Amino acid sequence: MKTPISLWMDDPAIQSQARPRLESNLSVDVAIIGAGFTGLWTAYYLKKHNPSLTIAIVEAEYAGFGASGRNGGWLIGGLMGEDQLLSTLPEDERRNKRQLLFSIPDEVAAVLHQEQIDCHYRKGGVIYAAARYSEQEVRLRQWLDELYHTGCTEADFAWLAPEALSDKVNVSQGLGAIYSPHCATIQPARLVQGLAEAVERLGVTIYELSPVTDWQPGRLTTSAGQVEAQWIVPAVEGYATSLSTLGRYQIPVQSMIVATAPIGEAIWQSIGLHQGEAFADNSRMVTYAQRTKDNRLVFGTRGGYRFGSRLRHDFQLSAQEVAERRTLLEALFPVLKNIELTHGWGGNLGMARAFQPHMLCDEENGIALAGGYGGEGVGASNLAGRTLAELITGQTTQLTEQPWVIKGSASRHLRRWEPEPLRWLGYRLILAALSREEVVLSNLETSQWRRRLAVVLSDQLEKLMD
């Protein structure tokens, strides 16, 4: 099994660029830490709003090294925790804000067209399936009721009966699914490369291999030079713990992914996903999958958390990590039993304490940041880049007046994570409960009272973390 940073980066179209290191002091209007999606989108929209701005992006490794080059390639028209954020709003206001989220894939598509970026964009929607055990169907139907109660319609989220589900994807023991058209799939490394080249054409300078060792309002420091700026944008997501103060609000968790060898058309006729749909089953193991342009199946699941918010740097998956994902993959798609897995990788993504994303503008200190996307970062980062650009340029628009937008300092407005060992113990306890639930529910011969107990325990532990 290959171990580049991801399948996406193991692509002949991904050209390594000899971008400069930061080797002297400079002064710019906006200094961005991190050349991932958030940093690149922010720079792109800033230049579109005000071409005269001087912008420098300072990257510790190279563009797309972090989560932006390692994710599962879902471009979702939504945000993690949006239901809770919108639940108290009037119905018409909820609807307007959901339409803004639903439009994310189309906004990205417009930029791809304008900048001629080929990242294998396919807007086939997303399928959240009830498969393998009946409790998934119960949770999906409850979620669908909640979506309709908060103003969504069947055009946004539709129930697929088993026959309709099998027309889209032939999953083992499919009991039904929710289908939403508001999702696309992409090859994320190609998007990173295309965005980096686009912002450079607009006049943004990207400095690579230049890790930031210190930052404060108005200045960031590397080993070879400093950057003074009116605005500092720490766009580091899962690497927030590497910058002082940010790790209080956003911790790194890992997600792990495998990819099959290219699959023959006869097997794909059996599986489905012919329109490029994203796919997940509704287990709490948080599965996600897509069919790539070269006919592989990319399949990922929830990962782990390391004591003290330590970053994971070695993503050569262990035999156990690969086996766990293979077991789930083959349970969902028995036709892929013993399929060759050619790639395995993972990445650090950022998780906010409120389990909700944030886009923050501290005008007094000249700091703008975004993060806490959870698993929705490919799309959320586009929304964040647009939003931060408008906040930095002093605009008041629909984007800047959303419930996920915070105006003021992080220390006053962002919720902090508990100190260690409490957060590590909490995560381990929840993960153990979810893993136990998966074992119990996957065994169809388990008694009803044991199944119910496993579900209730997982529900209660997840609520404790809210």
Specify whether the CB–CB gap between 185 and 75 falls below 8 A: yes
Whole-angstrom distance, CA of residue 313 vs CA of residue 381 = 23
Per residue in 63-93, pLDDT (tens digit) is: 999 999 999 999 999 999 898 888 888 988 9
Whole-angstrom distance, CA of residue 248 vs CA of residue 245 = 6
Name the CA dihedral angle for 350, 420, 256, 270, rounded to a multiple of 10 degrees. Answer: -90
8-state DSSP, 222: E
Residues 6+ apart with CB under 8 A from 69: 5, 6, 8, 9, 36, 188, 189, 192, 347
What CATH number was assigned to the domain covering residues 120-185+252-352? 3.30.9.10
Per-state percent for the chain, helix, strand, coil, to nearest 5: 40, 25, 40
8-state DSSP, 384: H
Q: Where are the domains of the chain?
A: 120-185+252-352, 422-464
Q: Give the per-residue pLDDT at 466.
A: 65
Cα 208 versus chain centre, distance: 23
Per residue in 357-378, pLDDT (tens digit) is: 999 999 999 999 999 998 899 9
DSSP 323-352: HHHHHHHHHH-GGGTT--EEEEEEEEEEEE
Q: Give the per-residue pLDDT at 244.
A: 77
Closest among 153, 125, 171 to 283, alpha carbons compared = 171
H/E segment holding residue 264: none
Q: Give the per-residue pLDDT at 2.
A: 65
> Which stretches of the chain drop beneath a pLDDT of 70?
2-3, 465-466
